[in-house]
Amino acid sequence: MASKAEIRDMDGDSMAGTVADIDPEKQRQRWLTFWFYLGVPLALGFLLGWLQVGRAAGWPRSLSMLYWLGAYCLIMTPLLALSTALAAPLLRRLRSPLWLTLFIGQLVGGFIFLDPLMQAYRRWLQANVYPDLLVTSSATTLVDFFQRLPSNSLLWIGINLLFFHGLRMPRFGYLPASLPSRPPMPVAASVPLPDTRRTARPTLMERVRPERRGALLALKADGHYLQVYTDAGSDLILYRLSDALFELGADDGAQVHRSWWVAQRALAPERHRERLVLVNGVEVPVSRSFRIVARQHGWLSPADPRD
């Protein structure tokens, strides 16, 4: 049933805390998306239009602003984002750095699609806004394109890298680097480590807020994010589940679902056929493909003859 595949936090206060933890980072990413695709193009279009840059040098300022605002908001930014998004999956598999992926996206989208659309946009302005606008019928040549390429590429790459490195916004499947590592929290000498075979803390725990760090119980993938459950609470971090699984040892726990990993220490005493109940009350679905592994660990009730 669908209700068994969802998280159910048995403690109402814990659920409220988890929702509060999830909202800020996702809200921040939504605001970054808004500023990247609308705020920045509006600012650039207004600036270039006010300064009457490029072919708008001899136009009325109102027409220049309309031209550049429309060009950046409706054509350039969406088109370059689309061409880069189409090229990014292949380039990521080839281990292309982000700046090169952005450059190739700008190169392909700018030459193949941008010039015809901008020509059509200028003809629309001539027909509907400013009949005296001079529109040339000749297409952009390779020489003209490559003359404009450095400035156009630097602008597109620079804005993306600013949002990626400076504001930690994922770009076209690339995830920002880790936050600077926080100093490890002191551990009293009288408190034994939970697992003496692994003294190093997984890198993913460096992204968890200090007050939420503790013994790792479970991980849940949510797109580019990872919900980290510990005995001190839960936190939402920007991390791939595949990277987290690479860091964790096989003796620490097991993956029980395409979106879930559970630690050995996290299981409550009761056993069920298709789900796990953790010591913090969270319920975890066990998909059919991972059910054998879960039973080998003794995490599920005995198999039904129909399974």
Rounded to two decimals, what is the model's pTM? 0.53
Query: Who has greater pLDDT, 183 or 77?
Result: 77
Per-residue pLDDT tens for 255-273? 899 999 998 888 888 888 8
Q: Give dist(CA 203, CA 177) in Å, integer.
A: 12
Rounding to the nearest 10 degrees, give the CA dihedral for residues 166, 167, 170, 172. Answer: -60
% of the chain surpassing 70 pLDDT: 76
Give the residue among 76, 85, 151 at the shortest CA–CA distance from 113. 76
CB 69 within 8 A of CB 52: no
Each residue's pLDDT tens digit, 269-285: 888 888 899 988 899 99
Q: Which domains does the chain have, with CATH numbers?
A: 23-166 (no CATH), 205-307 (2.40.50.1020)
Tokens describing residue 102: 């952005």
- Count the Cβ atoms, other than its own, within 10 Å of residue 207: 18
Alpha-carbon distances, residue 51 vs 47, 62, 68, 172, 305 (angstroms): 6, 11, 10, 32, 76
Q: What is the pLDDT of residues 200-244, one digit of tens each?
A: 567 888 889 988 888 899 999 988 889 999 988 888 888 888 888
Q: Of 249, 241, 261, which is closest to residue 198 (Cα–Cα)? A: 249
User: Mapped to the 3 state alphabet, what secondary structure does 195-214 carry?
Assistant: CCCCCCCCHHHHHCCHHHCC
Q: Is the pLDDT of residue 159 over 50?
A: yes
- Contact predicate 194/215, CB 8 Å: yes
Express each pLDDT in 52-102 by its tens digit.
887 788 888 888 889 889 888 888 888 889 989 998 889 888 888 989 999
